[in-house]
Amino acid sequence: MIQFEVETNCGNSRAGTLQTPQGKIHTPIFMPVGTLGTVKGMTPEEVAETGAEIILGNTYHLHLRPGDELVKKMGGLHKFMNWHGPILTDSGGFQVFSLAKLLKLDEEGVEIRSHLDGTKIKLTPEISIAIQQNLGSTIMMCLDECLELPATRMEVERSIALTARWAKRCKEARKKSSGDFGEQALFGIFQGGGELDLREQSLEQIVEIDFDGYAIGGLSVGESKEEMYRVAHHIAAKMPADKPRYLMGVGDPEDLLEGIEAGIDMFDCVMPTRNARNGSLFTSHGKISIKQSRFQEDPEPLDSDCACSTCQHYSRAYLRHLYKSNEILGVRLNTYHNLFFYLSLVKGARAAIKEQRFPEFKKDFLEKYHSGIDGA
């Protein structure tokens, strides 16, 4: 199935490898988000060129369209989208609680109305696993309750208990059927809001069930960065050392470095791709908005320190022109660059960990990142 090995520690940060049936993943790693079986604007070949080794697909969205049964008929998600590396599918839980209209939540699962056409949909731990087995992903995620915050302590306690019971049912569902695409790994998710003792309690409950990896859920949902970092640093060190650690939905470059410092191995976020479509681009000197008039006659590459094809071949003036003209090529070039930037960051962090210099790497990166492009 999957095999994880920590190769090097530098403080709490770790460099490792995650061997999967679809290939080896070098951690720490960032996973581009391919919600509907596509990383928006990119071919799978281009995504691989940026350094991506694993991508994320979305159970809820793919269930709605084109339908997980259709994906299964087409040979599974890997074949359907022509991505030959590992794929992680989330359970659909976050989208259920953030996008759809919640009709009912009980021990069995949730009933919702689709955000697309209002169709009534039922999602239970068993249904979530069945959908992910139809998709044939490398790593499946357990269905969890994404509690809306702020919430009372009593509400959080109820929620983490339900999440643990659902996690047990997810594992049982996988035991009963391996699907049509062989055995898939299954990660457990723990919650707990900002309450450190409840985070520990939720983690203990999920670890007791025993999964192939563990994910921190319910962060980067509106709390301050300080709060997110406090929880991540506290709980990451208590997660099993011999299993992959995944921080869901995080984040910007600073968040990635903070998570890596805490001992996290895997990250995903829509930020690099969504920001690219809005003309917000990451550079070694910070984030810039390419639509700004100061780039209208700028012949320089987006980031002179970046080796991606966008920076090697196109000027800031050209990228601004494409954005202002609503040209599709602008979205593609911007997305390629942002993903390359993120994947280069985690690759650099991995090298620094292996050379026992991660604190210096983080310090140097952030000093430069906060300096401003062209010293501005």
Per-residue confidence (pLDDT) for residue 147, from 0 to 100: 84
Per-residue confidence (pLDDT) for residue 373, from 0 to 100: 67
> What value, to the nearest 5°, has the Cα angle with vertex 172 and ends 129 and 55?
35
Per-residue confidence (pLDDT) for residue 375, from 0 to 100: 42
Per-residue confidence (pLDDT) for residue 221, from 0 to 100: 78
Per the structure block, which two tokens stand in for 339? 């993903």
Given 68, 212, 265, 268, the catalytic residue:
268
Given 90, 212, 255, 265, the catalytic residue:
90
Per-residue confidence (pLDDT) for residue 376, from 0 to 100: 44
Per-residue confidence (pLDDT) for residue 63, from 0 to 100: 96
CATH 3.20.20.105 fits 3-223, yes or no: yes
Per-residue pLDDT of the chain (376 residues; tens, 9 = 90+): 899 999 999 999 999 999 999 999 999 999 999 999 999 999 999 999 999 999 999 999 999 999 999 999 999 999 999 999 999 999 988 887 787 688 899 999 999 888 889 999 999 999 999 999 999 999 999 999 988 778 899 999 999 999 999 999 999 999 998 889 989 999 999 999 999 999 999 999 999 999 999 999 988 877 889 999 999 999 999 999 999 999 999 999 999 999 999 999 999 999 999 999 999 999 999 999 999 999 999 999 999 999 999 999 999 999 999 999 999 999 999 999 999 999 999 999 999 999 999 999 999 999 999 998 654 4
**Residues 2-10: contacts with CB within 8 Å, 24+ apart?**
2/138, 2/139, 2/185, 2/212, 2/213, 4/213, 4/242, 4/243, 4/244, 6/241, 6/242, 7/354, 8/353, 8/354, 8/356, 9/353, 10/352, 10/353, 10/354, 10/356, 10/357, 10/358, 10/359
The full set of domain ranges for the chain reads 3-223, 276-375
90 is catalytic: yes
Are 353 and 347 in contact, with CB atoms under 8 Å apart?
no
268 is catalytic: yes
Are 185 and 243 in contact, with CB atoms under 8 Å apart?
no
pTM of the model: 0.97
